[in-house]
Structure 1
Amino acid sequence: MTTNLFNRHAASVSVDGTEVPYFSAGDGQAGAPVLVMVHGSTGSTDSHYGYLFPMLSFRQRVVSIDLRPPAEGGELTLAQLVRQVGAVIDVVGGGRPVALMGYSLGAVVAAAVAAERPDEVRQLLLVAGWIKTDGHQQWRNGIWRQLRRTGSEAIRHYMLFCAFSSGFVAARTPQELTDMANRIALDGFVDQQMDLNSRIDISALVPRIRATTLVVGCSQDQMVPRGHSQQLFGAIEDARYTEIDSGHAVVFERPAELLSVIDHFLRDPAAHPAGSILPAARP
């Protein structure tokens, strides 16, 4: 195990022949569960949770997983990612229930883990997630795959266009947007994740979730429109719902507001009864 300047510890666990890295920070408070975080498509702990991870660790122990492709290549499955998250929970949970958070594809994975491990996931945060890929998402993913196959330089700009709200994009210069686009890494694992995104269906799992849940939708989300989050809210028995005025990339666009929403929920998950629709907390 290693430690960096920010007191973040790095370790890994072997799952299906693959070493899955995870990072931990914070000592936690008495009685507070470990918060396990799962990033979204094309992301990592650093890219999706670079702001949230250190801030949340001031209040409790936080663990973030960097998902990995299957060791033998081939098709990526949701079950593989669920096993990766489950293996980390087994190591860091110490037999005690955890809080679990997922963003985008990570929210799908987190929901599936919570459904399969109802005694181990006490609180659940689902940010910009969905139950079943619909025609709108299939169409967008199809355009992405066509750009990827043809090697078009426009693919990164297309990803930014889909991920951010119009207001966020309008406030940036063309050079700023180009610089952001150039930082997007594309590789075989991204291809596998995008393929998995196109065939998600956790309809049979979601009703089995028993965790105290907060579902967070993004009002200007073009990638996973907020109706998907509302469906999650309706399908989970012990769920509350709130929205943030953001595009899909809320972890970049509104990180402080998202932090406030997460922090308020984790401080008192049952402060609002199941079925409540909450105003977004302001930082």
Structure 2
Amino acid sequence: MPQLALDAATLTYDDEGPRESEAIPLVFLHGWTADRHRWDHQMAHFAPRRRVIRLDLRGHGESRGSGARTIDDLATDVLTLLDHLKVDRFVPVGHSMGGMIAQTIALAHPERVERMVLVNSISKMTYSRGRGLLMAASTLVPFKLFVAANIQRAFAPGHPREEIRSYIGASAATPREVVMTLYGAMRAFDVLDRVPEIAAPTLLVHGYHDVQLPVAQMLRMAKAYPDAVVRILDAGHELPVEKPAELTSVLDRFLNSGD
């Protein structure tokens, strides 16, 4: 379990797959309160054929530390790790908040992004009335209840309850400071006006039943991308674990289309 020490933080990561492969490395970025194991299915599929990297973001999973207050801060952590691993050009695959990190990197360092994949992610958060009420109530309810409400509604109807409970427990183990600070960072994230600057071919994959970041918001973003492919699957907000095989298949086709 390799780790990289940063200022006031330690990043835990996995770096697998053949170094001699000519395929551009994939870098998987998980979402808010999640961890790198969201990508287990994709790692198992791609690692035999190409270099694949994933990490627990600062304060998440087996990484430690706080201090990241913005999406830019998390993007800096990712680039620091990739510099340490001597990875220059890569394909970021970001889920939810991880997709915000991917877009931030693509805008700041377009020369490093070969292609990009955004899973259940958007360029600007817009809130429904219900979401706005939940956000307003977040400072008034116990922390674990706030986390549970967010994770519960992230899954499409009918997803196994035991599995949802396990994800709620893992999310609630994320330090409160990290959870609430990065919740604010996602609310403040807005690069929608800059999306036309992203020239890298981009795959936008979304769950039809996503109520956290509804499909309509993703489609609004998709129209601004110069070179985008859109795929909508029968899932909620947690596509990597709700429909892992289907997501992997969509990723595979998109990546192979550039070979």
TM-score by shorter chain over 0.5: yes
For structure 2, list consecutive stretches of 5 or more residues without a partner in the other structure: none
Q: Which one of 184, 197, 206 corresponds to residue 171 of structure 2? A: 184
Compute the displacement of 1:62 (Å): 0.5
Compute the displacement of 1:32 (Å): 0.3
Percent identical among aligned pairs is 25
SS for the counterpart of 1:198 is: helix
Q: Which one of 235, 238, 242 corresponds to residue 231 of structure 2? A: 242
Residue number in structure 1 paired with 2:112: 120
Q: Is 1:45 the counterpart of 2:36 in the alignment?
A: yes
Cα 1:117–1:13 change in 2 (3 A) is: farther
CA distance in 2, matches of 1:166, 1:27: 39
The amino acid of 1:215's aligned partner reads L
CA distance in 2, matches of 1:132, 1:236: 14
Summarize deviations over 1:28-71 as a string: whole Å, max 9, x none.
5632011011110001102x223322322122110012211596
Q: Is 1:89 the counterpart of 2:82 in the alignment?
A: yes
Residue number in structure 1 paired with 2:90: 98
CA contact (8 A) 1:100 1:123 kept: yes
Residue number in structure 1 paired with 2:58: 68
The amino acid of 2:31's aligned partner reads G
Cα 1:28–1:141 change in 2 (3 A) is: farther
How many corresponding residue pairs?
253
CA distance in 2, matches of 1:179, 1:233: 33
Compute the displacement of 1:226 (Å): 1.0
Summarize deviations over 1:169-210 as a string: whole Å, max 9, x none.
xxx46x665555444324221122212122111124322212
Q: Is 1:25 the counterpart of 2:16 in the alignment?
A: yes
Compute the displacement of 1:84 (Å): 1.1
Summarize deviations over 1:118-148 as a string: whole Å, max 9, x none.
1111010011111111132x85265256356
CA distance in 2, matches of 1:55, 1:256: 9
Residues 141-156 of structure 1 mapped to structure 2, 5 A cutoff: 142-144=133-135, 146-147=137-138, 149-151=140-142, 154-156=145-147
Higher relative contact order (CA 8 A, sep 6+): 2
The amino acid of 2:253's aligned partner reads H
Cα 1:151–1:93 change in 2 (3 A) is: same
Residue number in structure 2 paired with 1:229: 218
CA distance in 2, matches of 1:180, 1:208: 36
CA contact (8 A) 1:212 1:269 kept: no
For structure 1, list consecutive stretches of 5 or more residues without a partner in the other structure: 3-9, 271-283
CA contact (8 A) 1:127 1:216 kept: yes
Summarize deviations over 1:218-246 as a string: whole Å, max 9, x none.
11100000122223322221211111110
Cα 1:245–1:28 change in 2 (3 A) is: farther
Cα 1:99–1:159 change in 2 (3 A) is: same
CA contact (8 A) 2:34 2:171 kept: no
- Range with greater deviation from structure 2 (21-30 or 175-184): 175-184
State the TM-score, normalized to the length of structure 2: 0.86
Summarize deviations over 1:144-169 as a string: whole Å, max 9, x none.
5635643176435422431011232x
Highest Rg: 1 or 2?
A: 1
Compute the displacement of 1:11 (Å): 3.1
State the TM-score, normalized to the length of structure 1: 0.79
Residue number in structure 1 paired with 2:72: 79
